[in-house]
Structure 1
Amino acid sequence: MTALAAVAGCTLQTSTQAPPPLPSEQPLPQLIIASPKESSAYLRNYYARIQATGLVHDQLRTDGGGPDTPYTEAMLARNFERIAFNGEFSTIEERRVLKEHAIKLTRWVKPVRFRLHFGNDVPEDQREIDRQVFAPYIARLGRLTGHPISAVPERIPLGANFTVYILTEDERRAMGPTLRSTISGISAADMHEIVNMRRDTQCVIFVRNRDDNNHIERAFAIIRAELPDLMRAACLHEELAQGLGLLNDSPLARPSIFNDSDEFGLLTSHDELLLQMLYDKRLQPGMTADEARPIFTKIAAELMGGSA
């Protein structure tokens, strides 16, 4: 039996309060299922303001961590358990809700073949910026995990099992028929979440894995084309890493992109170790946290050089 599940959606925050609305905009209700249709021009302006505010508040760091973000082997093991052995979303009455729940270790066994897919309305200069982020990051993920990871040509999707869609608002809203034809088993709830993506969600990823062995078989991510460059890069970094099996976030993980504080925008030194732990051959898909704890605790100590 296979299951398709939303892993995570990147909801970059600029502070403890939402950014002020544009003059013509009314504040959104706190709980919202579908956002009103908005133009790409409007959204580009909206997200540019969010990024600018985030940078003022020292968010979206790209330095990977430093002396101000120390962590120990115990912290690394704790963060790995929270991020790799818990899911961020649960399904309640056919609705996808943000509710953490325990899961077994889940990762790819077959080779991962990434494909970058741009909507027709995405400008060529923006595509080139994203390609320059995507290609070296795919190579980096392969080096860190030791797993066969590569990219297929954009225009030749044959063999791709992890597709990254970068789409404008109109293109994403119109992609329902494409999803139905290419993603078997996609639910009405997942379709609704994609087509009617909330404005406070910048990107989202879905993975399909077998329930009987916790092997990821397919994944796809959707990133808003209206995001400014750094926010798109942050989405690429987080969603692709989460799609490899780091399925949760933790408020205690630092320095990390797996933390909803959004202090860091790009993969950190801490996150590199999480990926190494996830694909260590001593751990196997299907392990529970209790079964794996003695093993990943030892791996964390090895990676940290036995620090206390």
Structure 2
Amino acid sequence: MSAVLSGCLALAPGPKSTPRPTPRPVKPVYSPSVASLELAKYYADLEQDLLTRGLLRTDGGGPETPYDAEDLAERFETLAFYDEYAAASDGGAGGLGRWEVPVILEPVFGPSVSAAQAARDRDMLTAYAARLARVTGHPVSVGSKGNFTVIFAGLDDADFTEARVRKLLPNLSASDLALFTAPPRKFYCLVTAGGPRQDPLNYSRGVALIRAEQPGLMRESCIHEEVAQGLGLRNDSPKARPSIFNDDDEFARLTSHDEKLLQMLYDRRLRVGMSAAEARPVVTRIAQEVMGELTH
């Protein structure tokens, strides 16, 4: 207990002392909640189960996953022109969407993410951005004040995530906002990307959430899939193999098959807003070219 005494005391002058610098505020040590710890254990067990079953492969496929130009063209159409979350009334069909401006990925980290983990995530994202730029021929990089924000955050960072997403996507619906702030545990990660209301297929903003409770390979898999989908391959398909654009978790990282799909998406012979029917002859030819079955 302490007390403050008021009044004026006559003291003998003493030696002058150098004022002590004001100490910097100490950042409190993060202690995860029970819910966050339980989610981390769930994801750790899930990753181990997937690996035990031969999933989350990092080999990119092999002789048991063959495909040809016809397969590639068909899968491209499914992934680039259809949206699993679109209204059933239109069959999910839409136009081709992609970025015409350079993509600048900006990683941001919730308070629960340690500095060491944030450094690893940033390095992984930087290496992946360089790979995507090489594959697509489109500028993709990591930087500050980006137009594609990748949020690494956990359950305990809900307030941080909500504030950041509200700022980035002020017109997002309440239900979609809730997916970012309190997603079901079956959603390891998620992404939204698009353009302004008057030109939604001309992408200019992307936001992805990578759940911080995930262990290493699941976390890397989320980065690969969500960023690639945010570039315009917005759908998943059980026929896409070997591919990360598939809900079966067979592959953890972008495959050479997926690289070809992204190369096709950013081919200048395709235009933003093209319908599937309009693009089909061009897609067929590009698929033959990237498979080496046809020269330019």
With normalisation by structure 2, the TM-score equals 0.84
Cα distance, 1:208 vs. partner? 2.7
Distance 1:44 1:230 in 2: 13
Indicate the residue corresponding to 2:16 in structure 1. none
Cα distance, 1:179 vs. partner? 2.2
Secondary structure at 1:223 match in 2: strand
Indicate the residue corresponding to 2:99 in structure 1. 108
Tell me, yes or no, if structure 1 residue 300 matches structure 2 residue 287. Answer: yes
Distance 1:101 1:38 in 2: 40
Poorly superposed stretches of 4+, deviation over 3 Å: 210-213
Cα distance, 1:149 vs. partner? 1.3
Structure 1 or 2: more strand by fraction = 1
Match of 2:127 among 122, 136, 156: 136
Cα distance, 1:174 vs. partner? 4.6
For the Cα contact (< 8 Å) 1:62–1:266, is it kept in 2?
Answer: yes
Cα distance, 1:127 vs. partner? 2.1
Cα distance, 1:128 vs. partner? 2.9
Amino acid at match of 1:129: R
Query: May I ask how many residue pairs the two structures share in their alignment?
Result: 260
Secondary structure at 2:204 match in 1: strand
Distance 2:190 2:34 in 1: 19
For the Cα contact (< 8 Å) 1:89–1:100, is it kept in 2?
Answer: no
Cα distance, 1:132 vs. partner? 3.0
Tell me, yes or no, if structure 1 residue 124 matches structure 2 residue 115. Answer: yes
Distance 1:212 1:293 in 2: 25
Distance 2:91 2:83 in 1: 5
Sort the Cα spacing of 1:100 and 1:88 in 2 relative to 1 into closer, same or farther, 3 A: farther
The answer for unaligned runs of 5 or more in structure 2 is 1-32
Sort the Cα spacing of 1:178 and 1:210 in 2 relative to 1 into closer, same or farther, 3 A: closer
Sort the Cα spacing of 1:126 and 1:184 in 2 relative to 1 into closer, same or farther, 3 A: same
Secondary structure at 1:110 match in 2: coil
For the Cα contact (< 8 Å) 2:110–2:161, is it kept in 1?
Answer: no
Cα distance, 1:283 vs. partner? 0.3
Cα distance, 1:141 vs. partner? 0.4
The answer for unaligned runs of 5 or more in structure 1 is 1-36, 93-98
Q: Deviations over 1:256-288 (max 9, x none)?
A: 000111100100010000000000000001000
Q: What does residue range 32-181 of structure 1 map to in structure 2 within 5 Å? A: 39-90=35-86, 101-152=92-143, 157-158=144-145, 160-181=146-167
Secondary structure at 2:85 match in 1: strand
Sort the Cα spacing of 1:231 and 1:86 in 2 relative to 1 into closer, same or farther, 3 A: same
Cα distance, 1:184 vs. partner? 2.6
Cα distance, 1:118 vs. partner? 1.2
Cα distance, 1:170 vs. partner? 1.3
Distance 2:220 2:260 in 1: 20
Distance 1:69 1:298 in 2: 22
Match of 2:168 among 182, 195, 207: 182
For the Cα contact (< 8 Å) 2:194–2:204, is it kept in 1?
Answer: yes
For the Cα contact (< 8 Å) 1:173–1:194, is it kept in 2?
Answer: no
Indicate the residue corresponding to 1:259 in structure 2. 246
Indicate the residue corresponding to 1:242 in structure 2. 229
Indicate the residue corresponding to 1:216 in structure 2. 203
Point out the more displaced range, 112-121 or 217-226: 112-121
Distance 2:69 2:265 in 1: 15
Amino acid at match of 2:183: M
Amino acid at match of 1:187: S
With normalisation by structure 1, the TM-score equals 0.80
Amino acid at match of 2:53: H
Say which one has the larger Rg: 2
Match of 1:270 among 243, 257, 271: 257
Cα distance, 1:91 vs. partner? 5.5
Indicate the residue corresponding to 1:14 in structure 2. none
Q: Deviations over 1:41-72 (max 9, x none)?
A: 11111100000000011111111122221111
